[in-house]
Structure 1
Amino acid sequence: MKRIFLFFCLLSGLAASAQTLVTEDDRVFSPVIKSVQLYPVGKESVLPVIALNSSEQLLLSFDEISNSSRTYNYTFQHCDAQWIPSKLTPLEYIAGFQDDRLRDYSYSSVTRKKYVHYELKFPDRSMMPKISGNYLLKVFEFDKDKPVLTRRFYVVNTRVSVAADIVASPNTALRETNQKVNFQLDYTGLPVSSAYNDIKVFIMQNARSPWGLMNLKPTMIRGTQLIYNDVNINDFAGGNEFRRFDTRTLRLNSERVERIYRDTANTVMLLTDRPRDKPNYTFLFDNNGKYFIGNQDGRDARTDGDYAHVYFNLAANKTDREGTAYVVGQFNNYQLNEQSKMSFDNLSNRFYTDISLKQGVYDYEYIWVDQSSKKVDRIMLEGTHFETENDYQLLVYFRPANARWDELVGYRLLNTGVKK
């Protein structure tokens, strides 16, 4: 599937810079594990980035659909800039124990779907990263090589400054649809022997790594400044604002909800969605693909938020003979798989699927895969506009000659500046 994403990027013109194909990713390997979230404590909408040797912590939370608890453990793996495991032993990048137990869990209450809610705050004194870089958190029951879930996080040791801005595409044909990121680095004090070989920068739009761009060479060097502004690099399709729905209450129909059934299980029917590939931009409030757990009818959504079968339906003006539609968002890690794949109903001429989701506010979008070419297209059903409000994450990596790992030495969050 990752090869399909890469193929799409190359065809669509998003991959003006060198591409990376990640090997370690956010995954859920057990069908009973739901609603996995990882973010800095107190900053639910932020990329999981913490400073090296700081008191900052990340919060992992997830549910297991079960009536009884299990003993889960965790560890983390250091990776290079392309998410390939580093050739380091755990002793070289972990201070303290090499794995530890999840001890914080609680049972759901007054919910139709019974589950156990788990939480973990890390790092702490028992287990802490020793070096900066990309890390993969692994939660497992018995064997750390057989995790039930994985999540990426970042440990930064800031040693470079990053200045950046977002402009319209210099390509006149893409000026109304694309957003170009120009930036420059200042590495004063960093022992760089070759700026063309020691430093690389990865850029993501809305934290979606499959569509990210790896910058290997600066456009020009001015003293200790590296400038990346070539007309052929970092030109992203702006996309469209995400669609969204709100299930924080299951007692009445709210945003984008057509009908709610409550019996032995909760069922939520969403309003019919239609293609948005229009030439003119329309403002919609969104959360840039994220989702947030919430329950307006309870006291603590972590344990009294219920699950519901949410039915998506899309009138795409296409059939399953032409291709396949997928519904994706942060809630399923934007993965194109059997769980996000939509079936086609010949009677209604619509694509549909249902996904079990916890109460909250969800962003989502539709992706089309052409039957003949197998091309993955995130524009055909959603459209793309320069005006779309997006976040961009810039991650700066440093690896001097003969070093054995990539350090994360800079991080910058950008926003297109369009007010929501």
Structure 2
Amino acid sequence: MMRCLLLFLLLTKAGFAQPDQVFKSSIRSVRLFQQNNQGGLPIISLNSVEQLELHFDDMDAQVRNYAYTFQLCNADWSPAMLSTFDYISGFTQQRILQFRPSSIAVSKYVHYQTMLPERNCMPNKSGNYLLKVFMDGDPNKPAFTCRMMVVDSRISIAAQVLQPFQPEVFRTHQRIQLALNTGNMNIMSPQQQLSVYVLQNRNWSNMRVVKPLFQRGNVLEFNTEQDLVFPGMKEYRWADLRSYRFVSDRMESAKRTADGFDVVLKPDLPRPALRYAFYADRNGWSDIASSESLNPWWQTDYAQVEFRYAAEQLTKGRTLHILSDFSGTTPTPANRLMYDSASGMYATKLPLKQGYYWYQYGVYDGKQVDFTPSEGNFWETENDYTIFVYFRSFTGRHDELLAVQSINSRFGRR
């Protein structure tokens, strides 16, 4: 418990550099999304009836007393300098009362879920929020944290995906053309008061931050040729794990164990030399699902899933990571693949619940992730981009979220 508290305090001091964190080792499959939409970003409108669904499992298989609260954050996820009573209407903590033990599953766990925000614990300001879940009503016993956003739509966004002008990235990258219309807002200094964050495929580690460059009346324009050029990558790899009894196209074997299953996937290969081929994917966003049960949340099993990547060993100082929503989009020891000289492959095992998973491999050099050696980059790739617009008044003490818009590279480009 002291280790969890220390990690939580370090995270707070560091300004929530990694907001999505699990502190309790028995917590699995944390999901926070728009109601009835597993693929929806955790965003709601200010003063609306919109809600988010929170789901998670505790592998201790004993009922625990979990509660949650909200922490208002700035655009960079550092804590806002405001009292909890300034941005939460009602109680500052709320218990999670809905839970159910797993059934018709080999794996034993307790599934918890709730709809939030509730009427008696409601955020009343727009911006970034950190959802903190803790045990026994004590914030010093953190279980996990994850991010959510509350938007007050007061600015309109016009955006599309274009090919860059630079010849060296013309066929491999994508550029976001962007303009804002501030409407009736009186923004004295857009360069100081506005910040625009652009997210590719919900990969928070690859987010770009830009400031307005030109202003024409109420319209703000940006230098997108320099600041908003993203590698195109390739369509995501997939693993159909909706059943552990029937072997799907990407599974090599599946064996039942005393507390779940062991699944080995077929080896993945480097793809830079392969020509681009389009197929529908979820851009790194996975679904908890089952082809054998009625309710995937508490009637599905867990497995130790082995991912393998057949390639030559990387040079010293470079590591290979599997990146997705289920493993994290930032390189960590938990999503690193280790090289086995006997088999000539990289490998790692991850505990996964039944579902449909999308992922990619990235090479990390200690500073940034490069998908070029493992996946390749193509302009034609279908990608999702989400644009967040933040504003801070000269007398304000936090960054307000005034616009959010998502665009797709196949349906919003020229």
Distance 1:284 1:150 in 2: 33
Q: Which string of whole-angstrom CA distances, capped at 9 and with x for unpartnered residues, describes residues 15-43 of structure 1?
A: xxxxxx96251111111100111111022
C-alpha RMSD over aligned residues: 1.8
Q: Which amino acid aligns with 1:54?
A: S
Q: Secondary structure at the match of 1:231?
A: helix
Question: Unmatched 5+ residue regions in structure 1?
Answer: 1-20
Tell me the residue number matched to 2:358: 363
Distance of 1:327 and 1:131 partners within structure 2? 36
> Could you say what secondary structure the match of 1:184 adopts?
strand
Could you tell me which residue of structure 2 aligns to residue 223 of structure 1?
217
The yes-or-no answer on 1:214 pairing with 2:209 is yes
Q: How far apart, in 2, do the equivalents of 1:30 and 1:186 lie?
A: 44
Cross-structure match for 1:401 = 394
Are 1:306 and 2:316 an aligned pair? Answer: no
Aligned equivalents of 1:211, 1:63: Cα separation in 2: 28
Cα distance in 1, alignment partners of residues 251 and 180 from structure 2: 46
Q: In structure 2, how many angstroms separate the alpha carbons of the residues matched to 1:52 and 1:180?
A: 30
| Partner residue, 1:387 | 380
Say if 1:193 and 1:400, in contact at 8 Å, map to a contact too. Answer: no
Instruction: Kindly provide the amino acid, as one letter, of the partner of residue 239 in structure 1.
Output: M
1:266 aligns with 2:261: yes
Displacement of 1:302 in angstroms is 0.8
Query: Does residue 169 of the first structure (1) align with residue 164 of the second (2)?
Result: yes
Partner of 1:127: 121
Shift of 1:320: 7.3
CA contact (8 A) 1:319 1:349 kept: no
For residue 334 of structure 1, the aligned residue among 329, 335, 341 is: 329
Pairwise CA distance, 1:220: 1.2
**1:378 Cα deviation (Å)?**
2.5
Equivalent residue, structure 2, for 1:59: 53
Aligned length: 397
Residue of structure 2 equivalent to 1:138: 132
CA contact (8 A) 1:24 1:136 kept: no
Question: What's the counterpart of residue 345 of structure 2?
Answer: 350
> 1:402 offset after TM fit, Å?
2.2
| Superposition TM-score, scaled by structure 1 size | 0.91
CA distance in structure 2 between the partners assigned to 1:42 and 1:230 by the alignment: 35
| Cα 1:166–1:148 shift into 2, 3 Å | same
Tell me which stretches of 4 or more aligned residues in structure 1 moved more than 6 Å: none
- Matched AA of 1:356: P
Give the % identical residues.
35
Query: How far 1:239 sits from its partner (Å)?
Result: 1.2
Deviation at 1:322, TM superposition (A): 6.5
Task: State the match for 2:231 in structure 1.
Answer: 237
Q: Tell me the equivalent position of 1:12.
A: none
Cα deviation, residue 309, structure 1: 0.9
Whole-Å Cα distance in 1 between the matches of residues 372 and 215 of structure 2? 35
TM-score in terms of structure 2 length:
0.92
Question: SS at the partner of 1:332?
Answer: coil
C-alpha distance in structure 2 between counterparts of 1:75 and 1:24, whole Å: 18
Q: Match for residue 104 of structure 1?
A: 98
Cα pair 2:21 2:145 within 8 Å, conserved: yes
Cα offset, 1:279, TM superposition:
6.3
Tell me how far 1:222 sits from its aligned partner.
0.4
How far, CA to CA, are the matches of 1:279 and 1:341 in structure 2?
A: 24
Distance 2:333 2:389 in 1: 35
Secondary structure of the 2:333 match is coil
Alignment correspondent of 2:278: 283
Structure 1 residue 67: Cα displacement? 2.2
